[in-house]
Amino acid sequence: MKKHYVMTAFMVVMAMFFLVSSSHATLWDFNSLTAGTNINGVNLGGLTITAPDSYVGVIADYQTFSGTPSICASSWSGGMTLTMTFDSLVKSVSIYGGDYGGDSDWFSMKAYNALGNQIAFADTGSFSGIDPIHTVAGWSGDYRYLAVSADDIKSVVLTQVTWGCLWDNLDTTPVPVPAAFWLLGSGLLGLVGLRKKFRK
């Protein structure tokens, strides 16, 4: 009898560990990508980025506000967009947009659910210089932090409203899966029940 309790407790702990570990934030800093490559449509481990003209560039570190490789739509001109689609739904998305020059920039981010409905929006307005709140040590030029949150974000569209186009440090948090946890838990209880039945 005691053996079953120990086994069940062990499996519940394992399930909780899985749940906690799977709810960690995921950060894409693009630092392992080679400058000059086109990553349009490439799955970067749960993330796929596309542009209207099918070109998403990796920009060398010396040209970026972060001093590390960043990504960019093919044109630096205003109105260009990048669409970032996630394999699994996320509940928050943040990213830094900017460029390495000292001029005026403007970025926005729209979030969509799996049905394609817009569910969140963030906008920097016109700005220049580093982000006064989300300052990152070692970063320079112009940049701002953009963040959105909603229940079930499937994709975001990033727009360089005016000028400049670099994006870096995309950070997401996954949607928690309590339903999956309870399914797993009831499955384990069922297994324990079956073991008892066969032992009789």
Backbone angles phi, psi at 180, to 5 degrees: -65, -35
Q: How far apart are CB 185 and Ca ion at their closest, in Å?
A: 40
Give the DSSP per-residue string, 48-113: EEE-TTS-EEEEPGGGSSSSS-EEEES--STT-EEEEEEEEEEEEEEEEEEESSSS-B-EEEEEE-
- Would you count residue 92 as binding Ca ion (CB under 5 A)? no
- Would you count residue 142 as binding Ca ion (CB under 5 A)? no
Q: How far apart are CB 30 and Ca ion at their closest, in Å?
A: 5
- Work out which of 26, 63, 68, 173 binds Ca ion, going by CB under 5 A: 68
Q: How far apart are CB 113 and Ca ion at their closest, in Å?
A: 28
- Would you count residue 167 as binding Ca ion (CB under 5 A)? no
Q: How far apart are CB 71 and Ca ion at their closest, in Å?
A: 8
Would you state the structure tokens that stand for residue 13, as one six-digit string?
A: 């702990």
Chain residues that interact with Ca ion, rule: CB under 5 A: 29-31, 68-69, 168
